[in-house]
Amino acid sequence: MSLSRDDLIERRACITGIGQSQIGRRLYRDPLELTLDACVAAIRDAGLTTRDIDGLSTYPGMAATPAGFSGAHATQVHDALRLEVGWYGSGIETSGQLGSVINACLAVGAGLANHVLCFRSVWEGSAQGSKGRKASMPGAGRGGDFRASGIMEWTLPFYAPSAAVWIAMFAQRHFHQFGTTREQLAQIALNGRRNAALNPAAIYRDPMTIDDYFNARIISTPFCLFDCDVPADGATAVIVSRRERARDLRRKPIGVEAVGTALRGRPSWDQFDDLSTMANRDAAAHMWTRTDLKPSDVDVAQLYDGFSFLALSWLEALGFCPVGEGGPFIEGGARIARDGELPLNTHGGQLSAGRLHGYGFLHEACVQLWEEGGDRQVANHPRVAVAAAGGGNTCGCMLLVRE
């Protein structure tokens, strides 16, 4: 580690509370209400009141995004709770969904705020309604006059409107280069479903077998339906506190050991230098430069699985196995099971617990470190957890330590 301790200002931050709203496939509830439910739950979980909250951060906030992708803007929550903040921010151009939490860590580390409320809220399930995912497709229903621009200029004209198609191509490249198989990839989905069965808040809890997986319809090779997460409604919030202000709170704080934010490759889905990996390569490598801990110190991993392949890709990026060996690493599923050497996505991941878009992994990392997982709690008092979110050209990760 070439940095001094004084450089690592994320360590001046800790997590003191978490909260979630009702979660469901389609709740048809006001997304701001869901958001506020999660925020208030997190504030109370920390033993704070709205008057104590002096920072606010969210992803993506006010941005041009598909229907239901942004359940509440920072401004809406700011005003609804009548917060008086020393620092606030939101945006989509950051290191994945957790970039917003990392920004909060840096803000409290710099002394701009003491307790930052961070939230992520989605209502894609209800927003798409019975029209399904087509309703969220750029240009859908806009006929022949709609023209593609921005990054969509290079994908939409080729009938490639979805991350399912883009990430399927990364997976296909990985299959080609390293011999990864669908049997191996299936373990991400099967593991998630096994864990979701023990998570009362998960959306999909019915058992899934390998036959169910192979009988599912193909979306875009090599992905079948169960490799893809499903639009959902729900909000998650976490409180990031300045360490010296966390001592007397309700909970024992969870320390932020290191964060990873780098993006060295081109910020592009198809121009990225190595199509068998992604921005997670850079974010994960960056994180390990900011700690003396090693992948072997991690007790539980909560890794983004908006598509199954992304979790496999994060396993490699974070160094849990060599690059290219993610397939053999998860083969059979024993290693990533709750009682395996690296319990993965213990809440069910986005594939089974619901597409809460990044924050669900951080929430579950905290649940496991506080040992409040109930039936799904991993044994042996986990001390170190990694939470990672994002895929393609936008990724970020956090290493958390129970103290």
Partner 1 sequence: MSDLPFRILPEINDLNRPFWTSGRSGELHFLCCADCGYVVHPPTPMCPRDLSKNLVPQAVSGRATVATFTINHQPWMPGPELPYVVAIVEIDEQPSVRLTTNIINCAPADVFVGMPVRVVFEHRPVEDGEDLWIPLFEPAPVRAGA
**Residues of this chain that bind partner 1 (CB under 8 A):** 133-134, 137-140, 144, 146-149, 153-162, 164-166, 168-170, 172-173, 176, 217-223, 269-271, 273, 275
Between residues 146 and 214, which has the closer beta carbon with respect to partner 1? 146
Between residues 66 and 340, which has the closer beta carbon with respect to partner 1? 66
Where is 183: in which H helix or E strand?
helix 182-196
Least distance (Å) from partner 1 to the CB of residue 160?
Answer: 5
Between residues 134 and 294, which has the closer beta carbon with respect to partner 1? 134
Least distance (Å) from partner 1 to the CB of residue 386?
Answer: 28
Given a contact cutoff of 8 angstroms between Cβ atoms, the answer to whether 358 and 345 are in contact is no
Least distance (Å) from partner 1 to the CB of residue 214?
Answer: 15
Least distance (Å) from partner 1 to the CB of residue 249?
Answer: 47
Given a contact cutoff of 8 angstroms between Cβ atoms, the answer to whether 103 and 112 are in contact is no
Least distance (Å) from partner 1 to the CB of residue 165?
Answer: 5
DSSP single-letter state for residue 133: G
Question: Which CA distances in Å does 20 have to 78, 233, 236, 238, 346?
Answer: 18, 11, 4, 9, 16
Least distance (Å) from partner 1 to the CB of residue 373?
Answer: 35
**287 contact partners, CB below 8 Å, separation of at least 6:** 258, 259, 260, 318, 397, 398, 399
Between residues 9 and 216, which has the closer beta carbon with respect to partner 1? 216
**What letter represents residue 253's amino acid?**
P
Cα–chain center distance at 128: 21
Least distance (Å) from partner 1 to the CB of residue 264?
Answer: 14
Give the span between the Cα atoms of 203 and 187, in whole angstroms: 19
Least distance (Å) from partner 1 to the CB of residue 275?
Answer: 5
Angle, vertex CA 280, rays to CA 376 and CA 161, nearest 5 = 95
Between residues 221 and 296, which has the closer beta carbon with respect to partner 1? 221
Given a contact cutoff of 8 angstroms between Cβ atoms, the answer to whether 183 and 209 are in contact is no
Please give the backbone phi and psi of residue 390, each rounded to the nearest 5 degrees, phi first. 110, 170
Between residues 84 and 273, which has the closer beta carbon with respect to partner 1? 273
Between strands 115-123 and 233-242, the pairing is: antiparallel
Tokens of 238: 């976490």
**111 contact partners, CB below 8 Å, separation of at least 6:** 242
Between residues 47 and 138, which has the closer beta carbon with respect to partner 1? 138
Least distance (Å) from partner 1 to the CB of residue 71?
Answer: 24
Given a contact cutoff of 8 angstroms between Cβ atoms, the answer to whether 134 and 162 are in contact is no
Between residues 168 and 186, which has the closer beta carbon with respect to partner 1? 168
Q: What is the dihedral of CA 205, 211, 217, 220, to 10 degrees?
A: 100
Between residues 143 and 200, which has the closer beta carbon with respect to partner 1? 143
Q: CB 82: neighbour CB atoms within 10 A?
A: 8
